[in-house]
Amino acid sequence: MKIKKAEILATAVRENQYPEIGPPEIAFAGKSNVGKSSLINTLVNRKNLARTSGQPGKTQTLNFYNVNDEFRFVDLPGYGYAKVSMKERERWGTMIENYLVNRQTLIEVLQLIDIRHPPGEHDIMMHNWIRSFGYKGLVIATKADKISKGKWMKHMAIIKRDLGIQDNNLIIPFSASKKINKDKVWETLESIIPVE
């Protein structure tokens, strides 16, 4: 995918703040600090389009990005971050749910899971939820550079087992810092996005 244009369109909390209905949207869901913003930056060849932070819970809004005027990426707030209040977590949950349930132009949700750790309770709930809405249940196993390549299969098998995934092709090991499998993620996205 040749990236000619990548820009932030909107940061939203409520539906009336979403950008107007337009091109198809792909959302990125995952725990706080799993690497959603880093994945978006890597895919569009930009360092700071999506703000990254070493501090979990940084993304507290839905962030909409226009790519090539052909489709949009939507960075969802991280889930399962313990250091925010229960009320705040419920607010984020409602924000994410409203978007996933009501946005007509949403065509796929990619879930990010840190390859080093088995999926947690929130990951499993989110995965089941994504699947219940008819999405494929694609998983990007981030931070793949943090373990040796020889251990990838073992860690991916744990993710596959815990999430009840049948198809190996639905899990892609990825590293933003080393650009591992950037092309593979794009291939997967291009098979989903109806671009000319």
pLDDT per residue as tens digits for the range 75-96: 998 876 555 566 665 666 777 8
pLDDT at 88: 63
CB 113 within 8 A of CB 79: no
Handedness of CA 151, 175, 54, 87 (dihedral sign): negative
Q: Residue 7: is its pLDDT beyond 80?
A: yes
For 30, the 3-state DSSP assignment is strand
Residue 138, Cβ neighbours under 10 Å: how many?
22
> Looking at the domain covering 6-192, what would its CATH class be?
alpha beta
Q: Give counts: helices (H), strands (E), the chain.
A: 5, 7
Average pLDDT on 43-50 reads 91
Instruction: Name the pTM for this structure.
Output: 0.90
CB 172 within 8 A of CB 143: no
pLDDT at 96: 82
Q: Kindly tell me the burial class for residue 194, based on how many C-beta atoms sit within 10 Å of its own C-beta (0-12, 13-18, 19 or more).
A: exposed
Average pLDDT on 160-165 reads 97
CA distances from 171 to 1, 121, 126, 139, 155 (A): 20, 18, 15, 5, 11
pLDDT at 184: 96
Measured distance CA(143)–CA(179) in Å, rounded: 10
Domain boundaries, the chain: 6-192
pLDDT at 91: 64
Instruction: Kindly state the tokens that stand for 192.
Output: 């989903």
Q: Residue 179: is its pLDDT beyond 60?
A: yes
- At residue 32 the predicted structure's pLDDT band, cuts being 50, 70 and 90, is confident
Segment among 13-27, 62-76, 84-98 with least mean pLDDT: 84-98
